[in-house]
Chain A
Amino acid sequence: MIQSHRTTIDPVVLEIISHELQSIPDQVEADLTRTAFSPLIYEYKDYAVGLIDAQGRSIALARQGGPGFVVNLIGLGAREAMARHGDTLKPGDVIITNNPATIGHHLNDVVMCAPIFDQGGRIAAFMGIIAHWIDIGGRYPNSCSGTDTTEIFQEGLRLNSVHLRRQGRPVAEVYSIIEANSRMPEALLGDVEAQLAGCMKGAGLYAELMARHGAETLTGAVAEIWQRSASEARAAVAAIPDGSYAMECFLDNDGVTLDQTIPIRVAVHISGSRFTVDFSKMSPQVPGPFNSGRYGGGEACARIAFKYLISPSSAANEGSFAPLEVILPARTLLSAEVPAPLGRYSVPLPTVIDCIIGAMAKAMPDRCAAGHHASFGSYGFFGQHPDTGAFFTFFDTVHGGWGATASGDGIGPYKTMLHGDNRDIPIEVQEALYPVQIESYAWRPDSAGPGRHRGGLGTIKSYLVTAPCTAQFAFERYGCPPWGLFGGQSGTPGWVEVERKDARRGVLLKESELPMAAGDRLHVFAGGGGGYGASETRNRNAVQADLDSGLITEEHARNAYGFGR
């Protein structure tokens, strides 16, 4: 491709506008994370803040939201708002939607967007935020945490592009419906307020920017930024050998039919600068709540895997995914339709991403990693706090090992590939706020998949419950543990064990309501990552070092590495 360095837009103006555009969602994000009430927003970063153009394309996305949001869900929300309300949208209107047919996430994820008008009274852009609402009704506390719901109607309130504000005025009926349908209305309305303030602030900042540069210059700059990202991405794909690359793995079950695994089959077709992710052999949608919709599911997995493989360090925009095509039939696990339950929609996604990366290992051995623990491993407790009598819920997800790569041992402990800068909840904070005592938090020896480079290790966290309460958890990848690559071996999967006065029970994977008595213990095991390359070729000093620091036992060193015989 012949390209002139001389572009129609001045390089200085372009660089300045790209700084200014990026600073809008970043400023909004700084406020959102500091005013939010839900740990899912301030700690778990389960939100995205974005500027969207009038066609619903993403102009700029705040930097810290999770990787799951490289799919332009805010844009989908904005398009739905346009489709439903079109010309009737007015300045000061704010629309909210969690329509599963559009977003494809659990109902807690609500897009809020505010149209921004140009001087001619036309919609120039939208400022939007998608954020996880802490509880919007349904069968289980938190709405989305059950592992055995069978219809979307058990998972909370649906809001299909309704007005939260009309011309700047709150729509009281909608607030009233939201309030009446949440177990935690006060925290939720606090978050809605933070989300709203963010949309208003961002809309104002974009209007200022339009006034400064003119709408046309801005649009031109944005188009140029997309075009450049697109050609960079195409060049990267063109460097991959043409061919079809496939991989298959499976998930343990859908939480309803416990003895039936869910097959995950993916293929990637590389042809020139086209990168096609083919889900035509994906499992059909399942009765339990592990389905996701087309955009929140299949499209998201394809985009995230594409980022990991092709452009890990640059910011994603509309152009970054130009080479990517997705083949995704209707009504699969990743393209489910109403009324399929979506509560735990995100659980399969890290495995699907892992599988796409694994499929590409033959084509890109230096850019891929062996399997990671890939299990949210969400676990927690709810009940009545013994000191205050108030209802409490505590939830976190595990940190486990990631797969080894051509360049070194697996990394971790981190959450999954669907997570980003998500920190865990400190032990001291948990002990101060909830009736639990944590007895240890440590590396899990021997959990890493052996290999020339071994996987990252898993962890073990042990809880002693000090008051009666209910435990809930969901683990995955027990049957199909994190795989090795190029002769590397699998890591050990994660699970939960329950220790009561008289007995210890494990391996447990999914429970929606497990009663716990004071004095019972819950041991949470996070899995280790897969190895890369044959274990016999591992550097002997590295094996010795792992042995010396207790990351592997002598038995494991002998069996996995033939060490010390």
Chain B
Amino acid sequence: MPTFVAVDTGGTFTDLVALNPKSGALRYTKTLTTHDNPIDGILTCVDKAGISLADASVFKHGTTLVINTLLERSGPNIALVTTAGFRDVIELGRGGRTEPFNLTFRREPPLVARSHRFELVERMNADGTSQIAPIREATAALATQIAEFAVEAVAISFLNAYRNPSHERQVSAWLREMMPGCYITCATDLSRQWNEYERTVTAAANAYAGPKAGHYFASLSQSLAKRAFNGDLYLMSSSGGVLSAAQASAAPVLLVESGPVGGCIGASVFAERLGLKKIIAFDMGGTTAKCSLVEEGRFAIDSTYYIGGYGRGMPIRAPVLDIVEIGAGGGSIAWVDNQGGLHVGPQSAGSMPGPVAYGRGGTQPTVTDANLLLSRINAANFQGGEMTLDLDGSQAAMSAMAIKLGYDGRDGVTVLASGILAIANIAMVGAIKRITVERGKDPRAFVLFAYGGGGPLHGADLARSLNIPTVIIPPEPGNFSAIGMLLAHLRRDAGRTFVRCVDEHLLTAMEEVFAHMEGELRNDVFGEFNDVDVVFERHAELRFVGQSHAVKIDITGVSDLADLRVRFNEHYVARFGHVNERGATEVIALHSVASARIPRPDIAQLARKIEARPEATARRSTFFASLGRAVDTAVYSRWNLPLGWSGRGPAVIEEYGSTTIVGPYDDFEIGQLGEITIHIDRRAGKQDAVT
């Protein structure tokens, strides 16, 4: 049986996971990302892993290329065509100032300058009837004008096209014919929901990333083909599935969060296998911590995503996993303000210079330095010993800050270091509350599934603060995004604005729209794959008449209005705690999710072969916040612990790329998939994590 390969190109590292299901041969490799040509890094990983691509049937890839092109503005010259009267919409935006007292607040400039924005006479009415049809001659004149600007791509976005995209489609067909070789994209191919500004930005972003993404996917295909790869190449999309290279080239905006979503898919597969209905997927890396929810094997999708963040970024309408991300990671810097207040992050030392302990010139203490000084990580065995940490440097930097804050003596360093962890933890607790409590969910009903370099270090403390009873650390937490990609199926999301009161004709009208969306997905999106069995989910956004925000509910299988209302009421009460059970409701949008299974490995094979020597490899004095002091602690090597083995904390479990901390009195065991399950001690849970 052929090999499955997944490669995740991240900001710092390129990670590869390869598995031969028949032999069980498993390879993990990591190399520095090659930003000039990411393909070099990918091939280095392939070589390092010693696998033959001729034997590979599937190659899945997550990339930061699209988001980086948009953030760094490294795309080509592009043009925008809009309805006459509306070329400025993309620049005028919607007028919110997220820094209310800043007299110089500016958002990121639009992707297309005014000189490159063109207007065409055409008009669609709000009810989807055509008022003025576009004229071919006018379009031809426009094409000539645009050609003078030597653009590589053109975005088309017309007013009210979400109701009827025929004008956009007609003009894009004409422009393809008139401007051969130019990348043409129209907004309604990407979003069929109202809000002209967001849809126009989406089209522009797609046109901006399109030429570079298309070129990249093509050269990746060629490079793999040169290595005799004869299988299927898939790209990881932000909504939790994979796309073909052709689809990704046509709609690169679907890949804005191509990397982080991998871990979430991995978490959902583990949850399914372990029979866990509700988990929080928590990923803590060097600069940020991210969390998302997986319930009944599914994760929530947001349809608006801000390129560059909500504060100053621009919104696109693309389905992206609902993630809360905050600036708290191993590299987060501790600092003292001019009032003597202590803060941690959001600035990060990143990987360069990195924490003081990296010895690369960092001078400000970070979360990693704090973990090191509390003996939670091992200076001699960081990254499997590939990197030695500068304990003295960390100590000196921490000591200087401790004196500044009035924490005296050697004990002062410990107090400050544990304080830094407590502050970093409260920020991460806040992020988990946002993804749970602010969405009407009780975190105590969830399992905390922690990965990334820092997740296993902090998971137990976070769970303790949130009264979450169980933490699970998967195998290879440091490579978990790539593992998740290995497990991803095909998936595509579609949405329609559909404003309608709930009445007896509703279900028929909805059925018509769903049938249409599903037909399009089946033919246009999944048509290129042979023999796949497409499964559809249906979701609707509902609200009380007069509200602006709607709640999105799963309505797959709903057959009557009473059932629909029951689901809405249940969802609303769970989310907001109260509901007017008879208040008039309306539907505002319909969403369809199409997915199809493709072959993937069994996750039980992802655990390394165990050399069962379940004794501690060392003991060291390790600080625990729940005790307020350091205690003698057993240190284990993860791959010495056999399946089914159990123990009691305090314990430190080390492996390549990560360290798991088990608190005093917490019980832990090694599960069937190689995962570590930590049962948080309830007595400790009642103590204040700070004192």
B426, CB-defined interface residue at 8 Å = yes
Give residues of chain A (521-565) contacting chain B, Cβ–Cβ below 8 Å: 548-551
Task: Please give, as numbers and ranges, the residues of chain A lying within 8 Å of B102 by CB-CB distance.
Answer: 312-313
Task: Please give, as numbers and ranges, the residues of chain A lying within 8 Å of B583 by CB-CB distance.
Answer: 186, 190
CB distance A428 to B690 under 8 Å?
Answer: no
- Which among B92, B96, B105 is the interface contact of A443 at CB below 8 angstroms? B92
Given contacts A197-B578, A402-B103, A421-B98, is CB(A37)–CB(B341) below 8 Å? no
A432, CB-defined interface residue at 8 Å = yes
Given contacts A12-B690, A421-B98, A426-B195, is CB(A42)–CB(B103) below 8 Å? no
- Which chain B residue lies CB-closest to A402? B103
CB distance A228 to B339 under 8 Å?
Answer: yes
CB distance B546 to A190 under 8 Å?
Answer: yes
Interface residue count on the A side (C-beta < 8 Å) = 82
CB distance B426 to A35 under 8 Å?
Answer: no
Give residues of chain A (438-464) contacting chain B, Cβ–Cβ below 8 Å: 439-443, 459, 462
Task: Please give, as numbers and ranges, the residues of chain A lying within 8 Å of B101 by CB-CB distance.
Answer: 67, 304, 307-308, 311-313
Given contacts A11-B340, A11-B419, A440-B85, is CB(A37)–CB(B544) below 8 Å? yes
Task: Please give, as numbers and ranges, the residues of chain B lying within 8 Å of A357 by CB-CB distance.
Answer: 103
B559, CB-defined interface residue at 8 Å = no
With the chains together, A439 CA to B115 CA distance in Å?
A: 21
- Which chain B residue lies CB-closest to A308? B101
Task: Please give, as numbers and ranges, the residues of chain A lying within 8 Å of B575 by CB-CB distance.
Answer: 34
With the chains together, A30 CA to B104 CA distance in Å?
A: 27
Task: Please give, as numbers and ranges, the residues of chain A lying within 8 Å of B426 by CB-CB distance.
Answer: 15-16, 19-20
With the chains together, A422 CA to B548 CA distance in Å?
A: 14
Task: Please give, as numbers and ranges, the residues of chain B lying within 8 Å of A413 by CB-CB distance.
Answer: 92, 95
Contact string against B for A residues 407-419, beta-carbon threshold 8 Å, 1 for contact and 0 otherwise = 1100101110001
CB distance B340 to A5 under 8 Å?
Answer: yes
With the chains together, A187 CA to B105 CA distance in Å?
A: 34
Given contacts A42-B549, A197-B576, A212-B688, is CB(A549)–CB(B114) below 8 Å? yes
Given contacts A5-B405, A37-B544, is CB(A67)–CB(B339) below 8 Å? no
CB distance B580 to A193 under 8 Å?
Answer: yes
Task: Please give, as numbers and ranges, the residues of chain A lying within 8 Å of B87 by CB-CB distance.
Answer: 442
Contact string against A for B residues 97-140, beta-carbon threshold 8 Å, 1 for contact and 0 otherwise = 11111111110000001110000000001100000000000000
CB distance B104 to A411 under 8 Å?
Answer: yes
CB distance B114 to A429 under 8 Å?
Answer: no
A232, CB-defined interface residue at 8 Å = yes
With the chains together, A5 CA to B407 CA distance in Å?
A: 10
A432 CB, nearest partner CB in chain B, Å: 5
Task: Please give, as numbers and ranges, the residues of chain B lying within 8 Å of A427 by CB-CB distance.
Answer: 86, 89, 159, 196
A201, CB-defined interface residue at 8 Å = yes
Query: Could you say which of B95, B98, B339, B583 has the most chain A C-beta atoms within 10 Å of its C-beta?
Result: B95
Task: Please give, as numbers and ranges, the residues of chain A lying within 8 Å of B114 by CB-CB distance.
Answer: 443, 549-551
CB distance B342 to A15 under 8 Å?
Answer: yes
With the chains together, A304 CA to B102 CA distance in Å?
A: 11
With the chains together, A460 CA to B487 CA distance in Å?
A: 52
Task: Please give, as numbers and ranges, the residues of chain A lying within 8 Å of B171 by CB-CB distance.
Answer: none
- Which among A304, A403, A442 is the interface contact of B85 at CB below 8 angstroms? A442
- Which chain A residue lies CB-closest to B427? A19
A305 CB, nearest partner CB in chain B, Å: 10
Given contacts A11-B405, A548-B115, is CB(A428)–CB(B196) below 8 Å? yes
B94, CB-defined interface residue at 8 Å = yes
Task: Please give, as numbers and ranges, the residues of chain A lying within 8 Å of B690 by CB-CB distance.
Answer: 12-13, 16
Give residues of chain A (3-31) contacting chain B, Cβ–Cβ below 8 Å: 3-7, 10-16, 19-20, 23, 27, 30-31
A378, CB-defined interface residue at 8 Å = no
Give residues of chain A (254-311) contacting chain B, Cβ–Cβ below 8 Å: 304, 307-308, 311
A92, CB-defined interface residue at 8 Å = no
Task: Please give, as numbers and ranges, the residues of chain A lying within 8 Å of B194 by CB-CB distance.
Answer: 426, 428-429, 432
With the chains together, A160 CA to B212 CA distance in Å?
A: 63
A405, CB-defined interface residue at 8 Å = yes
Give residues of chain A (24-54) contacting chain B, Cβ–Cβ below 8 Å: 27, 30-31, 33-37, 39, 42-43
CB distance B86 to A440 under 8 Å?
Answer: yes
CB distance B341 to A228 under 8 Å?
Answer: yes
Given contacts A187-B546, A429-B195, is CB(A11)–CB(B342) below 8 Å? yes
A399, CB-defined interface residue at 8 Å = yes
CB distance B88 to A442 under 8 Å?
Answer: yes
Task: Please give, as numbers and ranges, the residues of chain B lying within 8 Å of A548 by CB-CB distance.
Answer: 115
- Which chain B residue lies CB-closest to A22? B430
B422, CB-defined interface residue at 8 Å = yes
Task: Please give, as numbers and ranges, the residues of chain B lying within 8 Å of A550 by CB-CB distance.
Answer: 114
CB distance A421 to B577 under 8 Å?
Answer: no
With the chains together, A10 CA to B412 CA distance in Å?
A: 12
CB distance A423 to B160 under 8 Å?
Answer: no
- Which among B405, B422, B499 is the interface contact of A16 at CB below 8 angstroms? B422
Interface residue count on the B side (C-beta < 8 Å) = 68
A68 CB, nearest partner CB in chain B, Å: 10
B404, CB-defined interface residue at 8 Å = yes
Task: Please give, as numbers and ranges, the residues of chain A lying within 8 Å of B415 by CB-CB distance.
Answer: 12
CB distance B197 to A426 under 8 Å?
Answer: yes
- Which among B105, B419, B434 is the interface contact of A411 at CB below 8 angstroms? B105
Contact string against B for A residues 191-225, beta-carbon threshold 8 Å, 1 for contact and 0 otherwise = 00100010001000000000010000000000000
B465 CB, nearest partner CB in chain A, Å: 10
B515 CB, nearest partner CB in chain A, Å: 23
B169, CB-defined interface residue at 8 Å = no
B406, CB-defined interface residue at 8 Å = yes
B126 CB, nearest partner CB in chain A, Å: 4
Task: Please give, as numbers and ranges, the residues of chain A lying within 8 Å of B125 by CB-CB distance.
Answer: 431, 437
Task: Please give, as numbers and ranges, the residues of chain B lying within 8 Å of A468 by CB-CB distance.
Answer: none
With the chains together, A187 CA to B543 CA distance in Å?
A: 13
B40, CB-defined interface residue at 8 Å = no
With the chains together, A27 CA to B94 CA distance in Å?
A: 25
Query: Could you say which of A304, A422, A427, A459 has the most chain B C-beta atoms within 10 Å of its C-beta?
Result: A427
A420, CB-defined interface residue at 8 Å = yes
With the chains together, A67 CA to B101 CA distance in Å?
A: 7
B358 CB, nearest partner CB in chain A, Å: 25
B508, CB-defined interface residue at 8 Å = no
CB distance A232 to B162 under 8 Å?
Answer: no
Task: Please give, as numbers and ranges, the residues of chain B lying within 8 Å of A437 by CB-CB distance.
Answer: 125-126
CB distance B97 to A407 under 8 Å?
Answer: no
With the chains together, A399 CA to B340 CA distance in Å?
A: 41
B648, CB-defined interface residue at 8 Å = no
Given contacts A441-B85, A442-B87, is CB(A36)–CB(B548) below 8 Å? yes
With the chains together, A243 CA to B13 CA distance in Å?
A: 58
CB distance B196 to A426 under 8 Å?
Answer: yes
CB distance B115 to A549 under 8 Å?
Answer: yes
Task: Please give, as numbers and ranges, the residues of chain B lying within 8 Å of A312 by CB-CB distance.
Answer: 99, 101-103
CB distance B100 to A42 under 8 Å?
Answer: no
- Which chain A residue lies CB-closest to B161? A428
CB distance B100 to A66 under 8 Å?
Answer: yes
With the chains together, A423 CA to B688 CA distance in Å?
A: 41
With the chains together, A281 CA to B575 CA distance in Å?
A: 52
A321 CB, nearest partner CB in chain B, Å: 13
B547, CB-defined interface residue at 8 Å = yes
CB distance A11 to B578 under 8 Å?
Answer: no
Ordered by A's residue number, 24 sampled pairs between the chains whose C-beta atoms are within 8 Å are A5-B340, A10-B419, A15-B342, A23-B430, A30-B434, A34-B576, A37-B547, A42-B548, A186-B583, A308-B101, A311-B101, A367-B103, A402-B103, A405-B103, A411-B104, A414-B105, A423-B96, A428-B160, A428-B194, A432-B499, A442-B86, A459-B88, A548-B115, A549-B115
Q: A427-B196, A431-B160 are in contact. List 16 more A-B contacts (CB 8 A).
A: A3-B340, A11-B419, A16-B426, A16-B690, A23-B430, A37-B546, A228-B339, A307-B101, A402-B103, A403-B103, A419-B97, A422-B96, A423-B95, A427-B159, A428-B126, A428-B196
Instruction: Give residues in B with beta carbon < 8 Å to A.
Output: 84-89, 91-92, 94-106, 113-115, 125-126, 159-160, 162, 194-197, 338-344, 404-406, 415, 419, 422-423, 426-427, 430, 433-434, 437-438, 499, 544, 546-549, 575-578, 580, 583, 688, 690
Closest 6 A/B residue pairs (Cβ): A440-B85, A12-B419, A420-B100, A6-B406, A431-B126, A423-B94
